[in-house]
Structure 1
Amino acid sequence: MKLRQLGLIAGALCAVIASTTLAADKPLQVATDAAYAPFESQNEKKEIVGFDVDVLTAAAAKSGLHLKFVNTPWEGIFATLGTGDRDIVSSAVTITDERKQSMDFSDPYFEAKQLIAIGPKSKITKFADLKDKKVGVQTGTTGDEVVQKLLGKTNPNIKRFESTPLALKELLNGGVDAVVADNGVVVNFIANNKNDKLKTIDDASFAKEYYGFAVKKGNKALLEKLNKGIAAIKADGTYAKIYKKYFGN
């Protein structure tokens, strides 16, 4: 074989190796609906920040994964896994049996439950009191599902919004009588709007929920790396530090 041919083959092999390395270093696309503080939101610089961002970034680092967070509307966010536009959905996603049918989840990284927000003069004392009330929820969330079970799936008194903060603002404006949503988001909103004096109800009927990072169905390799990372940050105290940063002790 001529030297020139050998040089061409060697060059081609180098190109393949470089291409493979580049692909390996290519960041995973992470879908997140950045309107759900303190889990994910945008700061003044339009950077995506929050509890979920910190946890996933720390876990990914333990497994050598590189990430790029992309602000993605909640409605249709899971479809991005199937199309390949996103590799991970990290957006305070509750693990449910229904969702498990179309996607896979990492091990849980946060325990949550639903919480009812009401105005300062409201007479509502429990979840059952919402039966004949106008209730705000974020479309497609577990809060939406919980309220549907009480009021009925097509009940016009269920007022759906693109985000929980929008639903809570509607509560402040008197457009709904209550809002049902994840506790972390409700508590964070009230803490940042103390003058409005919203109250919360923790109803005994609400079950515990767990958040997980979602990946495309069957992507076991990525799932194993995520779980390895989650376990590592829980073991070395990193997770506890992140939790304290957003929620205290």
Structure 2
Amino acid sequence: MKRILKIGLDSAAPFPLHSDYNSSLFEGFEVDMIAAVAELLDLELHYEVSLWATILEKLYKGELDMICSAVTMTSSRQMILEFSKPYLQFQLCAIVQRGAVLTDLADFKNKRIGIRIATEAEKYVMSQFPSNPTMHAETNNELYKKLVAGRIDVLIDDSPIAGGFLHKHKALEIGMFMPGTESQYAIAMKKGDVTLKDKINEALELLTQNGTYDMIFKKWFSNIRLV
């Protein structure tokens, strides 16, 4: 009998990592990757969908087995969670309306910045631009719509997620990549669940060796700049 794995999923779908679980087509880079992992380990996947801050809390409490939903691996999170080996390199970037000029951090003076709640982007903005007017939102979709409408001047987002939204919003573009924000996504698990972590890492290593990872990566990121 297959082991059931409870996976937390962000309801504000960070496509192309994954689409809306409740839509007619649930797909994305992480969907394909974790499905390949599950096949290798003979696991049955059960998804639980909620807001980002909620699934983080549920994982910490042990109500989920893992989160595979654009989780940035940070030193502070590693103190309270287990992480697999990283599976994607990326960077924070500033999204603006086409034609807006951003060349360095000085160009952000007085700009209205949009950021998503409980993300590393939010921490970055509050640290780097403490005097700027900021708009915090529960979903990326809300922020991109506000940028298109001119209600904010710039939004800071993970480059993979930005790439997905830029395919939908042709009036927007990457103004610049934020210096010193090179980051990695990894699968997050409950602290102390080393056995599961080791199995996941073995599977990810095998997917890299047999070419499956490269095939999945090219499928979803061939037209998206990550760094």
Instruction: Say if 2:89 and 2:185, in contact at 8 Å, map to a contact too.
Output: yes
Give the secondary structure class of the aligned counterpart of 1:49. Answer: coil
In the other structure, the counterpart of 1:60 is 38
Structure 2 distance, partners of 1:128, 1:203, is: 14
Shift in Å at residue 50 of structure 1? 1.4
Q: 1:131 to 1:60 in 2, by over 3 A?
A: farther
Q: 1:182 pairs with 158, 161, 166, which one?
A: 158
Instruction: Say if 1:59 and 1:232, in contact at 8 Å, map to a contact too.
Output: no
Q: Structure 1: which amino acid aligns with 2:179?
A: S
Shift in Å at residue 174 of structure 1? 1.0
Q: Which runs of 5+ in 1 are unaligned?
A: 1-20
- Asked if 1:223 is matched to 2:197, the reply is yes
In the other structure, the counterpart of 1:115 is 93
In the other structure, the counterpart of 1:33 is 10
In the other structure, the counterpart of 1:4 is none
TM-score (norm 1): 0.83
Q: Structure 1 stretches (4+) deviating beyond 6 angstroms?
A: none
Shift in Å at residue 204 of structure 1? 5.7
Structure 2 distance, partners of 1:169, 1:201, is: 17
Structure 2 distance, partners of 1:77, 1:171, is: 27
Aligned length in residues: 222
Give the secondary structure class of the aligned counterpart of 1:36. Answer: coil
Structure 1 distance, partners of 2:36, 2:4, is: 14
In the other structure, the counterpart of 2:58 is 80
More strand by share: 2
Give the secondary structure class of the aligned counterpart of 1:41. Answer: coil
- Asked if 1:192 is matched to 2:168, the reply is yes
Instruction: Say if 1:167 and 1:179, in contact at 8 Å, map to a contact too.
Output: yes
| Greater Cα radius of gyration, structure 1 or 2 | 1
More helix by share: 1
- Asked if 1:214 is matched to 2:178, the reply is no
Structure 2 distance, partners of 1:39, 1:203, is: 19
- Asked if 1:166 is matched to 2:121, the reply is no
Shift in Å at residue 63 of structure 1? 2.1
In the other structure, the counterpart of 1:5 is none
